[in-house]
Structures are given as structure tokens and as C-alpha cells.
Amino acid sequence: MASVRVAVRVRPLSQREKDLSAKVIIQVDGQITSVLSTKENFSCMNGELSGERVKSFSYDFSYDSMNSTSLNFVTQEKIFKDLGTDVLQAAFEGYNACVFAYGQTGSGKTYTMMGNPGDYGLIPRICEGLFHHIGGVLQKDKASFHMEVSYFEIYNERVRDLLPSTETQGCELRVREHPKDGPYVDALSRHQVQSYTEVGQLMQEGNKRRATANTGMNNVSSRSHAIFTIRFIKAMFDGELPSETVSKVHLVDLAGSERADATQTTGIRLKEGANINRSLVTLGIVISTLAISPADVNYSETLNTLRYASRAKNILNKPTVNEDSNVKIIRELQAEIARLKALLSAGNQMPSFEQPSGSSVEERLHQDEARVQELTKQWASRWKEIQTILGEDAVALRKEGIGVVLDSQIPYLIRIDEDLLSTGVVLYHLKEGITSVGAGGTKPEQDIVLHGEALQREHCVFENQRGAVTLVPLPGARCAVSGMEVTQPYLLSQGVNIQLGKATMFHFNHPQEAAQLREKRKSGLFVPSNSAAFSVETFSDFRLWMPFLQKHKNRNPVGFDALIKHS
Amino acid sequence: MAANNSIEWRAVCEKFRLAQELSEIESKKDPENNPFRSKYKARDLLKEIHCSLKKIEIEEQGEAGDEADCESSQTADGEPEDGFEKTFTGDSAAGLRAARLAVLQYHLGVNHIETEELSAGELHLMVCMKLIDKCTTTRENVSLFIHVRNQLGILWAGRDEIEKAQGFLEIAETMYLVYMKEDGQPPLDLQDFFVPEGEELSQQEKIRRFEMAYTHTLYYLAQVYKNLQQYERAAQYCHSTLQRQLEYKQFAPLEWAINAATLSQYYITKTRYMEARHCLAAASVIANLAGEIPSEAAAKESEAESEKREELLQKRAEIARCWIKYCLNLLQDAKKLLEDNIGELDLDRQDELKRARRNEEEEKEKGRKSAILFGSSDTFDSICSLEEKVSSMLPLEFEEARSIFLVGQTYVTQAKEYFAMDGHVTDHIEILQDHSALFKVLAFFEEDLERRCKMHKRRVDMLEPICKDLNAQYYLLICRQLQFELAETYYEMMDLKLAVADKLDQPDVHTIKKFNHLCSSSMKYYQMFLDSTRSPEGKFPEKLEDDLLRPALVAKFRVARLHSKLISSNLATQMENLSLSLESYNFVVQYCEENPEAKNAVETELELSMEMVSLLPLKINRIRSTLASSK
């Protein structure tokens, strides 16, 4: 939202510079301002001899106001048109705007900002523009306006009211921040204004109070930063609703020098260039006006001012947020994508069966719901709801007499829990391919994680090859099928009981095999499964919705927080 | 010095004394509208002295003035410089004459600079430097040699020509070291050139002033190196400066304390916590030398007391903030060492580090310590006892982490007392953000998931009300930070709830509700963050600003994820959630298509979003067809 524009303006040679027979070393061409290194500047310091003779800087605007008789001379009016119009626009739209002037003592900042009677600068012109606009809008819309101005200066790091009321007369004011109303100068007086004349009067009154001084460099050198603030409130009805926009325009005239103050007080401090306390100004559109002298005698200071622009552009660059890393989400998503892809390819090729990994809580949540529903007496009345919950699962419940029948097309294991208090039924699907089983804690995690005696971290795998399911015990793992210990791969058939470790029992069901067996029993024929009969649509009962696929880890590594900036 | 006791010479000395007094004492009383009145007067006196000196020189030597007349003070020394050839020895009569003229040029230079005539000041300083460069460096001119280079260093640093400043200051530094090694006798001070015989400074005073000049050289160099981004060296020079200031008792307590506290922050970035702690403890102790804080009642009585109270409270609160950062970073650095690739405590790593610590650390710390001590006998014990209150070793388990956390929290309370919400919004919130970060990192060390979740809840409790109260028109950046942090905190809580549910056998309806609530809250704050980028008309920017690009796209990405995490038993709701999820993934993909330069910022997220955009419709279609068939 905030944008920064930088303009540079060159003033005419001053009497003092003429007395010193100073030469003009500045050239303005379009947006470019160039400084010529003079020979003297070269000889002054070693090491710069190889440097280029002309240093050029590009800005949003470069203004040549060196010679009032020249065709290129840029007037106050032109500067207002270029810079002031944006400020006005911002104010009407409810944005804040801020205009800074920066430059060496005596380089013409105050002239650009304030101007002289009859040759007004930016600030009076902007005020005039506001009233002019109000006049126009008042007739068109039914908007009402309210305008207040305040004016203060910062002198030697102290804030003083330039338009003091009886309370603030002679007091040092404090800069404070309010959560709703933003930064403000405590007790600063605000003056309601109705016309441009009133603004002009207040401004003059404040200017008289402002600390200026007669120095060798400038006979009216501004000793303080002066901040003139216009609070502009526009109230209107937006249809039936009252709407109010408040915008602030800050017009800042920075003091030419702070350095003397700094060295006087401590003698041991390098003071950075002029910087306004961050909390004073709410930056919206920011316009920095650099003011420079054209004279060679000010070469170094001018160069410094011109470089300031690059810093001005950087005022707003603060880190936006410190974000946590996305590592965990990325992993979750990768897993989900892998699953979706597997599903997609399964749907396109073979009657293979995507099946959930048994340990995720999401799945258990769903299973729990299934269990609860299954075992509750009201299940019949909620048939539809159960259908919706289970509809996308690979299982279906159907009522048969007083019993509940669980239908699934995928081979699965039913956990036979020895815990007498356990009322649930846990069902594990055996997908096409490998399903790993074990006590877990491995990477990647086992598909089915079990807790029980004598279970290895990786205990065994179930291999489903086109519907044929084989139990493959891993070395040292205790596995038994129908009471017989197995150590080699073992092809499972419909209805067998499987024991893993000491006491973890499962019942193996193979719905398709069972159906085939039933068919066979009926017709006496063996019907091989017809893969062509399966399409993506027929797999609508797959589990697809898996928000929590992985073991959930809680924290992410955090970036090194930026160190404090204060002091 | 033949003229030392002549009446003429005494008059010169008196003028010089007067010029010094005007410049250093009277000038402080100058009115605002004529702030340099006394400085200008001093300048005139200095010019008169310069003329007198020239006259004396001509009379004494009977030679024609080799350097034009007294007007030469106004112009640059145009004489071609013949390299490094030394014409005189520093202690010869000619050398002394040159030095005396150079002292005048020095004062004229400083005077011009202080009255904002920088270029003129520079010329005088250069003349001064050339005058003494004609001489060998001796006890007579070594102090001036350093002073003039200090001044030129500040001048060029002020013009942002850091390398030039560096050049002058490094020569000054070397000269001090060479002089101390080869001579080491108390050198003449600048003032000694203009006092009647018998009124020279005492030996101790000469030493004190000379050492102070060198301390300044080091301090300026510290800042020069900082500006050149040579942080290691900058820190070293800061440290030496602080040590020397204590040693020679040349410091203002509050300023010293703030500098030491600032230096601690550098050591923190280098994970040199022992040094950081030493700086902070010293800062706290030395700050107390600034005196008692005037009571509120006393502050009401007088403006001076009120100002003093304000200043003391503020500086102490700032030191407290540096302590907070110390605790926070110590914890965060430990976390970085201890975490595995998904941010959980790595137990093997923990064991390994504990073993390593037993073996090495203590020995190492002992060796390092002596070099950095702020050795002032009267404060040493207080500094040590303050240091003992908090560890400087990376915590490796919860109890250790907790004790550092608690110290940090104490400083949070202290800092908030001054930086209250009422009046100090930005600072207050920054402290709260640190407090929140302290909880966040402590949670890493907590094994119990429920308790961990409660720590995150504390973060929400402290940030949420503020986020609601704050006017984004003025605190846009802070609002965004808070929104983002709240979104992430809720996300973490949601993950934790899930992990807790994972341990329960049967997550109940309540848990699911809670889970959904956390998801929604997280989404709400991400959305608020995203909405903050909209124009007043409510339009999302077509092109995100650089600093918002990644955060905004990450927020979208997370919103997408959260939508698909919501639990619902209702198929239609599921479908809606998934569609919203798809929409957000799609946003990321589309944005990057339209703004290819964004791709680098969110490489992985984009890749995953693209996958999801291609796969999610499949999921949605399934639900749709189930929904259709169940009707």
C-alpha cells in the first residue's frame, strides 16, 4: 500500500557561495541529477583519482531551480502539480500521505515546503487544494468535511507544540501510541479549520515560534524538524449507511543539522543521518524531497544527500511475518498425493484395493464412529446417516434380521480383541501390494501398527497380488495361521485365523474369494474375476477423505528471529 | 620555546583559554535563534591567535613568512606535498612550531564543523594533518596526530564515506600502538601548547586525555566496521571501548549500559552466550550506578526529576528487553540443535549432547572468560552474582529450559511495566510477541501433549485480544504479524489435539468439535491476514508486494490444507470443504502462472498445490457420485 517517491531539487547559488566564487557542479537532465567531481575534490583525498568524474542519480523527479530566468526553471507550481496532486488524491481516498524534505542546512528545504508570501511552497498549496476540492465535492455529493491541523517541532529530541494552547505552552510533549487511534503527540492541540485563510494564519503563527537561527551557512536556518499534520475527515452516507474516512497528511520539514547537538552532549557519538522517530508518522504515500545546493563547495554534503534517496526507498522494508516452516504439512500432503495417485492408477488398471494404514487417528475416528453406530440400538433409525458416514468407506453395513452384516470387496483382517472391555471391531484392509505390520517406530512407518506382546517393530507383511493374499513373516517374528506356526510365506484363504506375537489375533476375510466360493458352490463352476468390470466409478466406496494421514508431530523448526532493532 | 614567558605570549595563552571556554562552556548557554554565537566568537579569537603566531614566528626567525600571511587560515594549504618525507623531528623547534600551528588549525577545523560549515572545517583539519605529517611523531605531537584523525574520521563517516573514515581512524589506531610500544611517556596534550610555563597539565591528566582520545578512536572504528558490515571486528572494538571506559572511569552509566546491552545482542547472534550474559549482567549493574529512580511523587514535583525518572525507567526496560532476547535465543538455539527433521525432540541427539557437554563445555568456557571480562573491582561481584541467576549453556531438557524461560518471563514483566500498552503500543506488542515465542519454544521441551497445548493456549490468550483491539490503519504490519502468528498457533493446537486424540482410544464428539474449532480459528486468522492485503474496495491485489508474496501464498496454501482437514460426517459438507480446499490450491497455482517470478518463493508449496489441483477433483467426484446414489 505504501509507496515512496523521491524528488530532488537544486536551488540557485546563494550569496555566500557567490562570494566564495563557487562553481556550479550540478546538472539536471530529465529524471537524472548529475554531480561533477571538481579537481579540488579529487586532490583532496587520495584514492578517488580513478573514480568517475560525473556521478549520476536517477529519481522519480529531478528539478532544476537554479536560474529563474532559464527556460528549465522549475517553479513551486510545477512541484505542487507533480507531488502535491498525489497527496491530495491520497487524502480524499482515505490514505495517509507524508512529504519529507531532506538536505543540508541552507539547501532550500523550507522554501520548497513552505515558500514565501506570494511564492508559496508545497504545504500551503496542498491545504489550498484540499479546500478547493471540498468546495467542489460539497456541491456534488452530500458529504461533509471536517479538518483539523496541528503543528509541532522536534528540537533537541524534544517535542514542542507550535500552536500551543494554554496547557501546552512551554511544555515538553511526549509521543505516544494508542491502539485504536495510532501514534499521537500527547496533549498536542488541534485546531479546527474552515478555510484556507485560517490554515495560513495558523501556519504563520507556528512558523514564527519555530526555532530558526542565524548561522553562517544560512541566515534562517531551521533548527528543528517541523511536522504539520492535517487530519481530514470525510463523512457521507453510503446508501443508508453513514461512512467516515479519516486521512492524515504529514508535511515534514527536517532540520538541516542535528550533528552539532549530538557532539555537544556526549562528544563520543556518531550520529546517523536525520531520522524521524518511526512512531511519529504513519507512512502512506511517502514523498521525499531532496534539496541540494549547486555549488562545488558543498560537493560532499550534496553527494551525501543524493545517496540518501536510496535509503529513503528502504524506510518501509521490515520483515512482514516470521512464518513457521511448512515441513510437516508438506509431508502430509506428499503422503496424501501418493495415495491419491496410487488410487488413480489402481482405478485405471486393476481391481486393486487402496486401503488405509491402520494407525492413523483419522481412520480410527471414522472407525469409532462406525463402531459406535454399529453397536448402538438406535442405528436403524439413523440408517441414512450411517450410510453417509460409511458410504465412502470400503465397508458397508447392512441389516439382516437382527444382525448387522459388514460387506467389503477388499480382503481384510478383523482384529479379535482379547480385552473383554473392548467393544469395538477393528478392520484392516489389505491393499494391492504390500501391507507392513509391526509394533512400529520405523521409517517409513508400518502400515498397521500393533501393540502387543512379542511383536517386532517390523513383524510381517501381507502381500496382496491380484487378490491373492500371502502372509510373509519376517525373520524371528512369531506368526501362526489357524494355530500352526509359519516362518515361510503363506497363502491365506478365506476365513482363517491369524495370530501375531503372543496374543494378537485376527480373522482373515476375502470377500471376493468368498463370493467366488459361494458362486462355485452354487454353480459348480470357477469364475475368475473380471478385471474389465472395474472402473473408477465402481470404486466409489474407497476411503478418500483422510485429513490425518501421518503420525502427527507438533512443531516445526522456526527461523532465527530477527534481533531487536532498538537501542 | 623562547617566547614562553613574554607578555605577548601570555596574551596569546589567555586568548586561547578564552576561546576554549567560549567554545565548550559559554556555547551551551547560547540562545536558540543564535546558537553559534559563542562558537563564532571563539573562531575569531583563534584567527587572531593564528596571526599572532605568524608574527612571533617572523620576529623570532627573522625570515620571510613561508606560508603567506595570516589569511592562510581561510584557504587550503595549496603547497604541493612531497610525499612522506619528514622535514623535522617532532621535538625540534621547527617541529614544535609546526605542531602549535597545527593545534590552531585543528581547533579552527572543529569549530567550523560544529557550526555546520563542514567543507571549511575539513580544509583546516587537512592543513593541520599536513603540518604534523612533516614531522616525525614524538611525545609532542602524537596526541594531535590522533585527535585530528578522529575528527576526520567522524566527518567522513557523517558523509557516509565509510572507507575514508576507516583510513584515518586506522592510522590513528596504529600510531597509538606504535607510540605506546616505542615511547609510552605521557604525551603533550593539545592544551599544553598554549599555556604559560609552569601551568602545563599534570602527568596523570595528560595520560587520561591521551587514553580518552584513543578510546574514541576505537569507538569510532567500532561504528565504522559496523557500517562496513564487519560485525566481528565491530564487536571486538565495542568490547575494547567498553572495557577501556570502565578502566579509565570515563563513562556515563546509562549510555555505557545501553551500549553493553546492545553488544550482548551481537554475541547472541554468534551463539556466544557466555559473553552475551556478561554484557547484560554488566549492563544491569552499571545502569544502577545512574542512581535511584525518583519516585512518582518526586517526578510530579519537578520536571527534572520527572525526566530523570522517565529516562531511567526507559533504559532499564530496554536492558530488560535485551535479557528477554537472550533467554529466547538461548532456548531457540537449543531447540534447533535438539530437533529432528520435523521439529520434534530428537532423543539420540539429546543424549549425545548431554555427554558432550559433560566432557567439554566447562573447560572451554573457563578459557574464554578471562579475555572478555569487564574488570572493575567495585562492580565485579555484583556482575558475577547476576550472571549466576541464568545459565549460559544451551538447555538440553525441560527443567533447564524452564528455568531460562522463567528468567525471561520475569524480564517480560519488567519490560512491560514501562512499555505499557497505553502509550507504547508497538513496543508493548513486540514484548508480547517475545513472550509468546518464549512459550512456543518452551513447549518444544514439554513432553506432555496436553500441557504443551496449554502453553500454546497461553499464546492465543495473550495475542488474540490485542489483535482485535488494534487499528490496522496505523499498525498494519503488527496486525499482520499477529494474525499470522495466531493462525499458526491455532494450527499447532489443532495438531496437538489430534496427537492427544491419537493416544485416546475413542476420540469423542467433543474432541472432534474442538478439533474443527481449532481448524476454523486457524483459517479465520489466515483469512484475516489475506484480507489485509485487499484494497479499500475489497479487491485482492493482482500482484503481491515482495514482502507479502510468500506469506500470502503460504497462508492460502495452509487455508487449502485446513479446509480438507475439517471433519464432517455429512457428505455434502465434505464436498463443500474439499471444493474450498481446491479453490485455495488453485489460487496458488493460478497466481504463479500469472506471476512466474513468484514461483521461486513457494517452490515446494506450488508443486504440491499443482498435484492437489489435479487430484482433488477425483476425490470430490467420488463424494458427488456417492451423494447422488444415496439420494
Contact criterion met (CB < 8 Å) for A301 and B159: yes
| ipTM > 0.90 (yes/no) | no
Residues spanned by CATH 1.25.40.10 within chain B? 89-192+201-250
C-alpha distances (whole Å) from B445 to each of B114, B346, B485 are 56, 11, 20
Contact criterion met (CB < 8 Å) for A270 and B223: yes
Contact criterion met (CB < 8 Å) for A179 and B623: no
Residue B189: phi and psi, rounded to 5, are -90, 160
Longest CA–CA separation in chain A, Å: 123
Q: Is B554 on the interface with A (CB under 8 A)?
A: yes
CATH 1.25.40.10 fits B89-192+201-250, yes or no: yes
pLDDT for residue B608 is more than 70: yes
How far B407 CA sits from the closest chain A CA (Å)?
Answer: 18
Q: Chain B partners of A542 at a C-beta cutoff of 8 Å?
A: 622
pLDDT for residue B12 is more than 80: yes
Per-window interface: A 73-132 vs B, CB < 8 A: 93-94, 96, 105
How far is residue A273's CA from residue B572's CA, in Å, rounded to a whole number? 62
CB count within 10 Å of CB A192 equals 10
Q: Is B604 on the interface with A (CB under 8 A)?
A: yes
Q: Please list the residues that pair with B187 across neighbouring strands.
A: none
List the one residue out of A229, A263, A260 whose CA is nearest residue A247: A229
B456-489 per-residue burial string, b: 16 or more CB within 10 A, e: under 16: bebbbeebbebbeebeebbbbbbbbbbbbbbbbb
Q: Is A418 on the interface with B (CB under 8 A)?
A: no
How far B336 CA sits from the closest chain A CA (Å)?
Answer: 7
Contact criterion met (CB < 8 Å) for B219 and A268: yes
pLDDT for residue B321 is more than 50: yes
Identify the closest residue of chain B to A308 by CA–CA distance. B160
- The reported pLDDT for the residue numbered A54 is 84
C-alpha cell at A370: 462406525
Contact criterion met (CB < 8 Å) for A544 and B117: no
Q: Which amino acid is at B491?
A: Y
Helix ranges, A74-195 (H): 76-79, 85-93, 109-113, 122-140
Of B32, B163, B492, which is closest to A554 when you measure between CB atoms?
A: B492
Of A307, A388, A552, which is closest to B160 when you measure between CB atoms?
A: A307
How far is residue A279's CA from residue A308's CA, in Å, rounded to a whole number? 20
Identify the closest residue of chain B to A209 by CA–CA distance. B33
- Angle separating helix axes B37-61 and B93-114, nearest 10 degrees: 160
Q: Is B177 on the interface with A (CB under 8 A)?
A: no
Q: Is A243 on the interface with B (CB under 8 A)?
A: no
**Taking the model in full, what pTM does it have?**
0.71
- Please give the DSSP secondary-structure letter assigned to residue A564: P
- Angle separating helix axes B449-469 and B425-445, nearest 10 degrees: 170
* Tens-digit pLDDT profile for residues B22-81: 998 998 888 877 888 999 999 999 999 999 888 887 777 654 444 444 444 443 444 444
CB B273 within 8 A of CB B330: yes
Q: Chain B partners of A221 at a C-beta cutoff of 8 Å?
A: 116
Long-range pairs for A315-321: beta carbons < 8 A, 24 or more residues apart: A315/A4, A315/A283, A315/A286, A316/A2, A316/A4, A316/A283, A316/A286, A317/B547, A318/B477, A318/B547, A319/A562, A319/B547, A320/B477, A320/B480, A320/B481, A320/B547, A320/B548, A320/B551, A321/B480, A321/B481, A321/B484, A321/B485, A321/B529, A321/B551
Q: Give me Rg for the CA atoms of chain B.
A: 34
* Tens-digit pLDDT profile for residues B260-283: 898 888 888 888 999 999 999 999
Lowest mean pLDDT among A258-272, B378-392, B502-516: A258-272
Write the CB contacts of B21 (distance below 8 Å, at least 6 apart in sequence): none
Q: Is B94 on the interface with A (CB under 8 A)?
A: no
List the one residue out of B488, B481, B453 whose CA is nearest residue B467: B481
List the one residue out of B80, B82, B73, B84 whose CA is nearest residue B106: B73
Q: Is B269 on the interface with A (CB under 8 A)?
A: yes
More confident residue, B593 or A275: B593
Contact criterion met (CB < 8 Å) for B216 and A334: no
Round the average pLDDT of chain B to a whole number and report it.
Answer: 88
Contact criterion met (CB < 8 Å) for A385 and B569: yes
How far B228 CA sits from the closest chain A CA (Å)?
Answer: 14
Contact criterion met (CB < 8 Å) for B481 and A221: no
Contact criterion met (CB < 8 Å) for A213 and B34: yes
Strongest mean pLDDT among A41-45, A268-272, B324-328, B340-344:
B324-328
C-alpha cell at B602: 513457494
Q: Is A364 on the interface with B (CB under 8 A)?
A: yes
List the one residue out of B539, B472, B536 whose CA is nearest residue A238: B536
Write the CB contacts of A142 (distance below 8 Å, at least 6 apart in sequence): A236, A237
Contact criterion met (CB < 8 Å) for A542 and B252: no
Per-residue pLDDT of chain A (567 residues; tens, 9 = 90+): 457 788 999 999 988 888 888 889 998 988 888 888 765 544 444 434 445 578 888 888 999 999 888 888 999 999 999 988 888 888 887 777 888 888 777 788 888 888 888 888 888 898 888 888 887 776 666 778 888 999 988 776 678 899 988 777 777 788 888 888 887 888 889 999 988 788 888 888 888 887 666 666 665 566 677 888 888 888 777 677 777 777 888 888 776 544 333 333 333 333 332 233 333 444 456 667 778 788 887 777 777 777 766 555 544 434 456 666 677 778 888 888 888 777 777 655 433 333 333 334 444 444 444 443 443 333 333 333 333 434 434 444 555 545 555 556 778 887 766 554 455 567 787 888 888 898 888 888 888 888 878 888 889 999 988 878 899 998 888 898 887 888 888 888 877 888 888 878 888 887 777 666 555 443 333 322 222 222 222 222 222 222 222 222 222 222 222 222 222
Of B219, B321, B625, which is closest to A537 when you measure between CB atoms?
A: B625
- The reported pLDDT for the residue numbered A551 is 25
- The reported pLDDT for the residue numbered A444 is 82
Contact criterion met (CB < 8 Å) for B116 and A216: yes
Chain A to chain B, count of Cβ pairs less than 8 Å apart? 291
How far A341 CA sits from the closest chain B CA (Å)?
Answer: 7
Task: Tell me the average pLDDT across B556-573.
Answer: 92
